[in-house]
Copies of this chain bind each other. A is one copy, B any other.
Amino acid sequence: MRIAVDAAGGDHGPAVIVAGAVDGARRFGVDLLLTGAEAEIRRALFAHDTAGIDIVVEDAPETIGGDEQPAQAVRRKPRSAIAMALDAVRDGRAAALVSAGNSGAVMAGALLKLGRIRGVDRPAIAGYLPSMTGKTLVLDMGAVTDPRPSHLVQFAQMGSIYIERAFGVERPTVGLLSNGEEPSKGNQLVQETFPLLSIAPGIDFRGNVEGNDITRGIVDVIVTDGFTGNVLLKTAEGAASLINATVRRRLTANPFRTALAAMLRPAFDEARKDLDYAEQGGAPLLGIDGVVIISHGRSNARAIANAIGVAKRSVDGEVPDTIARLMATLEPAREPAAATG
């Protein structure tokens, strides 16, 4: 299996992406197709032991900036790293894409070049967040800011298939994010979605869950609109930063504390690793007819390596085909309006 990696994406430059890709390829036993500035990629590769990994490098002379209008950028720049990596997936030269680049451009490019799975109205980004009991899948993380109730039902179905097929979670449970547990709670979208989820095939719906239930880990999959998903992810990141800064300030308030805290450094490092988003790997764009893994722009090499693991699991678990099979069985029952998406 060969995984395409957008070596131009991410905030830390090609060297970090290449380091993660090589590490991931070795750990998960896959080959690589790297797109980006070829000279930089080859220079980065030179620093690593790549024996036994089949690596193809494709030079991508065009670059897509973080502030470009995504759909336009992908159309106008066919020789960009994202576009060329997606071409490789479409043409079967790679089994999946991992990118830490402009996520809007990855989504637009994936829709353009790989297309939606028949029956899926809106692809969604499915991200794992750490929880007390392991991890909780939350979708959508930002692809669809104003979904319809029927879209949230598909998010629940796709998320359940993903963690069952890629991570072996048996009969995953699903919660609907709301501002209270009772079925009567929620904004209009949530109140309209609740009854649809209650009768939706292919999922084990457990009712409404609240913001603090994400880290409590009481269900395997939590569905929400992409606006709320994006806000809650960033709010949790911000809370973690504030706690980190506050504890650090108090632990270094005098030399005695600083010395003690230094001796406890391994414990803090372990805790940080427990909670690190990089350990969760990348987030798949579910509903696309292919495996596309979106990584955080701030991804370090470890995060990229883990994202390659997520890509391999998704390919091995035949996630897109499994979603397509479920959607095919539901197709006749679906409302005609929703199919135009």
Contacts and interface: CB of A to CB of B under 8 A. Distances in A.
A144 to B, nearest CB: 9
Interface string A216-253: 10000000111110111111111111110111011101
Contact of A239 (B215, B230, B253, B261): B215
Nearest to A182: B67
A210 interface: yes
- Interface band, chain A: 35 or more
A169 interface: no
Nearest to A211: B234
Contacts of A212: 234-235, 237-238, 241
Interface in A71-120: none
B238 A211 contact: yes
Contacts of A216: 238, 241
Interface in A168-220: 177-180, 182, 186-188, 190, 210-216
Nearest to A230: B179
Given A228-B228, A257-B267, 11 more contacts: A145-B186, A146-B188, A211-B233, A216-B238, A227-B228, A228-B231, A231-B232, A236-B236, A243-B243, A247-B267, A261-B264
